[in-house]
């Protein structure tokens, strides 16, 4: 099933404390964003990549795409102050069928799962990749525990997230109109009662967020190279 993908890549990487967009940090000599883009460049079902970026970094992104032969980025879109706004801006350039949203900061998505995700989105409206939560989760205020949350129904949600484009566009419009800010795109469907289903993913699909994620990323990369 064909799809367009919106990749938000306009963050500042504050939690990484690298003093630059963390997507330019290299893993084994290759920038993180290149790993992410390659997954979609190599997927024959991906029609086009829409990349939301900070305009000040446009030349850097263009240089990387030229150097690594990335040809499917058909739109370089101005990102927003929040991830949700970067996705919203990208969505304006997406087609009318299936659209995926995938963090630039998740370079280890397994291509095999993307088609399952698209099928599910076509059937249900929205679908997310997620893994069962492994830790015991407690709710607390001011470090005082209020309760232990029942774990069997908890999922840690990742990207990609796939949607019927018309539903995602409507969900974003409504969130924008009501000044609602979510941490992922599926939450915008949930609040307008559109269905979102889970496709079980794997724990390697980490989002590179803080310094320690870089050595987890190196380990995952080495594991993948051994295959």
Ligand X SMILES: Nc1ccn([C@@H]2O[C@H](COP(=O)(O)OP(=O)(O)OP(=O)(O)O)[C@@H](O)[C@H]2O)c(=O)n1
The answer to whether residue 183 forms part of the interface with ligand LQXTBERG (CB under 6 A) is: yes
Dist. CA 182–CA 202, nearest whole Å: 23
The answer to whether residue 15 forms part of the interface with ligand X (CB under 6 A) is: yes
Picking from 36, 38, 15, 205, the residue whose alpha carbon sits closest to that of residue 128 is 205
Residue 147 CB, nearest approach to ligand X (Å): 28
The answer to whether residue 158 forms part of the interface with ligand LQXTBERG (CB under 6 A) is: yes
Site for ligand X in 113-142 (CB under 6 A): none
The answer to whether residue 133 forms part of the interface with ligand LQXTBERG (CB under 6 A) is: no
Peptide bond into 160 cis (omega under 30): yes
Dist. CA 186–CA 13, nearest whole Å: 22
Please list, in sequence order, all residues whose beta carbon lies within 8 angstroms of the beta carbon of residue 140, skipping any fewer than 6 positions away.
146
Site for ligand LQXTBERG in 187-216 (CB under 6 A): 207, 209
H helix or E strand, kind and range, residue 227: none
Strand duo 3-8 + 98-101: pairing: parallel
Dist. CA 139–CA 157, nearest whole Å: 18
Give the interface segment with ligand LQXTBERG, choosing from 60-68, 110-118, 151-159, 170-178 (CB under 6 A).
151-159
Could you say which of 133, 157, 197, 198 contacts ligand LQXTBERG (CB under 6 A)? 157
What is the binding site for ligand X (CB under 6 A)?
8-16, 22-23, 52, 79-83, 86, 103-105, 207, 209
What is the binding site for ligand LQXTBERG (CB under 6 A)?
83, 103, 157-159, 183-184, 207, 209
């Amino acid at each position: 099933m064909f799809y367009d993908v919106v990749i938000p890549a306009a963050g500042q990487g504050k939690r990484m404390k690298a003093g630059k967009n963390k997507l330019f940090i290299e893993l084994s000599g290759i920038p993180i964003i290149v790993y992410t883009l390659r997954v979609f460049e190599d997927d024959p079902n991906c029609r086009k990549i829409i990349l939301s970026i900070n305009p000040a970094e446009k030349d850097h992104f263009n240089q990387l795409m030229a150097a690594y032969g990335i040809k499917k980025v058909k739109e370089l879109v101005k990102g927003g102050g929040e991830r949700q706004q970067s996705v919203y801006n990208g969505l304006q350039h997406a087609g009318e069928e299936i659209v995926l949203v995938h963090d630039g900061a998740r370079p280890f998505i397994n291509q095999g799962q993307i088609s399952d995700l698209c099928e599910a989105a076509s059937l249900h409206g929205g679908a997310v990749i997620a893994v069962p939560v492994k830790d015991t989760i407690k709710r607390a205020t001011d470090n005082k525990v209020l309760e232990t949350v029942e774990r069997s129904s908890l999922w840690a949600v990742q990207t990609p997230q796939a949607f019927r484009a018309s539903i995602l566009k409507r969900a974003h419009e409504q969130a924008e109109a009501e000044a609602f800010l979510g941490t992922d795109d599926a939450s915008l469907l949930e609040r307008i009662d559109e269905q979102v289903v889970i496709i079980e993913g794997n724990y390697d699909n980490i989002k590179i967020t803080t310094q320690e994620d870089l050595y987890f990323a190196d380990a995952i990369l080495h594991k993948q190279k051994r295959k």
